[in-house]
Amino acid sequence: MPIARGLPLVLLILISGCMPSEIEAQLPAGGTLKLAYYPGGSALDDLLIIEGTNYFGKAQYQFDDPLGDIGFRFNDGQRVQAECTNVGKNIIGDDECKIYTVYRSSFPLLPEGTILPRPDGT
């Protein structure tokens, strides 16, 4: 099998092993929105799946600051930024953010005031 023909199969196998962080956002107007986040790493874009639609971009956070702001910059230039609004303890007793609230957004599906719990597995 030529490399070019086998590459999609290899990528599919690699991606199928990835587990997303699943998030249920509380919208300011009421209701919820289900999201899945797949980190892309340094070579690939990160992926947000919202209501079955794929959105590519890069997550933005400070790895060494568990209480810092988080964000997502979409490839089309739209951005979402959220701040920590509820602090709790992790499994070893260190502070970590449990709830984020969007304070700046140019992305209509995640407007200002949207509440996001800390993603599973982070």
Mean pLDDT by 10-residue block, N- to C-terminus, for the chain (122 residues)? 47 51 91 91 89 92 78 95 92 90 96 89 48
| HEC assignment per residue over the chain | CCHHHHHHHHHHHHHHCCCCEEEEEECCCCCEEEEEEECCCCCCCEEEEECCEEEEEEEEECCCCCCCCEEEEECCCCEEEEEEEEEEECCCCCEEEEEEEEEEECCCCCCCCCEEECCCCC
Indicate whether this model's pTM tops 0.85.
no
